Amino acid sequence: MSPSNALKQKLVSQQDRIANSKTNAIIRTRFDKVSSEIFDSSNTLSGKTILVKDNIAIKGELLTCASNLLESYKSPYSATVIDRLESQGALITGQTNMDEFAMGSSSEYSIYGSVKNPHDLTKVAGGSSGGSAAAVAEDLCDIALGSDTGGSIRQPAAFCGIYGLKPTYGRISRYGLVAHASSFDTIGILSKNLEDITSAFSVMSGNDPKDATSSTEAVLSLNRYNKDKLPKNVGVLSNDLLSDIDSEIADRYHTVLDFLRKKKVNLIEIDLPYFDYCIATYYVLTMAEASSNLSRFDGVRYGRRATSKDLNETYVKSRSEGFSEEVKRRIMTGTYILSSGYYDAYYSKALKVRRVIKNEYNKLFSKVDCLFIPTTSTAAFPLKNNLDNPIKMYLADIFTVPFNLIGTPSLSVPAGTTKDKLPIGFQIAGNSFKEETLFNFAHSLNKGELFK
Ligand code: GLN
């Protein structure tokens, strides 16, 4: 079959699967805007279909962040990542459901309704990029884009049994990503296939003058990845920390550690620095940043405008009607954190703690090539389980937020399932710009047939 016929067939079957999907992962498709005729094998991503989280801008398409406030907002431009992917032959076939403004860990805070886990429709898909993760797991696309501010790619990737990469902060341009917490936000990649992750990563990476925080660090060529190469020294969790983890996940973890020992990898037991402080530090800082970032959604500049008698009422009513409860909670808490009386006690203190955590991780990364730890402490939880308990929802990210606090890359790899057939995921976390170590480690694990 010619490549363009094969592609045509793939597009038809993915479209069919989307129409029959029960997970509520996809909120919009645009198959009418892509063509199977343009297949050109010299392009890195020719014919790869990509679904995009609804907080990443695609020119002329709705960009709602699953919020009432932006319900009818269309983006006048595309994110840099979209332009780069399209220039290498990728086909943007639709947009995925998410937690409103990427705030959440279950993809239940959405005006489009909850995303369901394709492995068990009574469970969450994880969040906030739950739509992207579920879509990949159900073969609705080859690759999905998500954003990861505190775990929003890796946690749903683990819950749905796929790969999910959060790159080094600054490695991939954030231009065109709706900001949640700007010093934490990253755009990342989800796929079932590690080669697709590395290809998309190599296309999306690199300096972008439109994003002032984008790095000028050189981008490695694609042939550096997907090698059978295990790191020498790997930091692993002590039994102490493992005791808080679901026993099936802990058992699986030990199986992988045994495999690594056999392969002569030096496993070094570590404590995750200031583990108990990470969630609190993360939420103080991200809520402060979110309260500032979301002030632009005022009913005047963007999105929904409430009918009202004066300007002040326009602001108040538009925001009150536009945002839902979790987003309001964060805006109010963030505003409080930044208020003059509490700024030093909370915001400035949390910034200092972030620096101390970063220093400790720097020391750790001088001793190990990377860390290998669980992505989550449980498998996917039931729908509605955490909805009335924000703290429980926040704790879902306990193993993922440290790497957003310190800006380093982390890849969640699928690692088999529990006896109830729910996926388990482990994270490979390395030092800044060391994605190569993560990819080659993941490749070697896969070759070990451990996770079949
Ligand atoms: N669950 C975390 C939060 O709600 C992570 C969000 C994210 O990574 N976008 O803040």
pLDDT tens track for 118-167: 999 999 999 999 999 999 999 999 999 999 999 999 999 999 999 999 99
For residue 244, what pLDDT is reported?
86
Check whether 452 has a pLDDT greater than 70: no
Which of 153, 154, 185, 286 to mutate to test ligand 1, by most ligand atoms within 8 A of the CB atom?
Answer: 286
For residue 422, what pLDDT is reported?
98
Reported as a single tens digit per residue, the pLDDT across 264-312 is 999 999 999 999 999 999 999 999 999 999 999 998 988 889 989 999 9
Check whether 448 has a pLDDT greater than 80: no
For residue 225, what pLDDT is reported?
93
106 in a domain, yes or no? yes
Rounded distance from Cα 33 to ligand 1 centre (Å) = 31
Reported as a single tens digit per residue, the pLDDT across 354-376 is 999 999 999 999 999 999 999 99
Q: Can you tell me which atom of ligand 1 is nearest the CA of 397? A: 1
Q: Can you tell me which atom of ligand 1 is nearest the CA of 151? A: 8
Rounded distance from Cα 119 to ligand 1 centre (Å) = 22
Rounded distance from Cα 183 to ligand 1 centre (Å) = 13
Reported as a single tens digit per residue, the pLDDT across 162-181 is 999 999 999 999 999 999 99
160 in a domain, yes or no? yes
285 in a domain, yes or no? no
- CB-defined site of ligand 1, < 6 Å: 102-105, 128, 147-152, 180, 286, 397
For residue 304, what pLDDT is reported?
87
Residues taking part in catalysis: 53, 128, 152
What residues make up the domain containing 104? 3-225
Reported as a single tens digit per residue, the pLDDT across 26-35 is 999 999 999 8
Please give the average per-residue pLDDT across 218-238, as a whole number.
Answer: 94
pLDDT over 90 percentage in the chain: 90
Q: Can you tell me which atom of ligand 1 is nearest the CA of 393? A: 1
Which of 149, 190, 285 to mutate to test ligand 1, by most ligand atoms within 8 A of the CB atom?
Answer: 149
For residue 449, what pLDDT is reported?
63
| Higher-pLDDT residue of 429, 447 | 429
Q: Can you tell me which atom of ligand 1 is nearest the CA of 152? A: 8
254 in a domain, yes or no? no
For residue 2, what pLDDT is reported?
82
136 in a domain, yes or no? yes
The total number of structural domains that make up the chain: 1
For residue 395, what pLDDT is reported?
87
Query: If you take atom 10 of ligand 1, which residue's CA is the nearest one?
Result: 103
Rounded distance from Cα 152 to ligand 1 centre (Å) = 5
Check whether 451 has a pLDDT greater than 70: no
Rounded distance from Cα 172 to ligand 1 centre (Å) = 18
187 in a domain, yes or no? yes
For residue 241, what pLDDT is reported?
84
For residue 78, what pLDDT is reported?
98
CATH number for the domain harbouring residue 173:
3.90.1300.10
80 in a domain, yes or no? yes
Reported as a single tens digit per residue, the pLDDT across 382-436 is 999 999 899 889 888 999 999 999 999 999 999 999 999 999 999 999 999 999 9
405 in a domain, yes or no? no
The whole-chain average pLDDT of the chain stands at: 95
Please give the average per-residue pLDDT across 86-94, as a whole number.
Answer: 97
Rounded distance from Cα 281 to ligand 1 centre (Å) = 13
Which of 53, 99, 399 to mutate to test ligand 1, by most ligand atoms within 8 A of the CB atom?
Answer: 99
Q: What is the 3-state secondary structure (H, E, C) of the chain?
A: CCHHHHHHHHHHHHHHHHHHCCCCCEEEECHHHCCHHHCCCCCCCCCCEEEEECCECCCCCECCCCCHHHCCCECCCCCHHHHHHHHCCCEEEEEECCCHHHCCCCCCCCCCCCCEECCEEEEECCCCCHHHHHHHHCCCCCEEEEECCCCCCHHHHHHHCCEEEECCCCCECCCCECCCCCCCCCEEEEECCHHHHHHHHHHHECCCCCCCCCCCCCCCCHHHCCCCCCCCEEEEECHHHHCCCCHHHHHHHHHHHHHHHHCCCEEEEECCCCHHHHHHHHHHHHHHHHHHHHHHCCCCCCCCCCCCCCHHHHHHHHHHHHCCHHHHHHHHHHHHHHCCCCHHHHHHHHHHHHHHHHHHHHHHHHHCCEEEEECCCCCCCECCCCCCCHHHHHHCCCCCHHHHHHCCCEEEEEEEECCCCCEEEEEEEECCCCHHHHHHHHHHHHHCCCCC
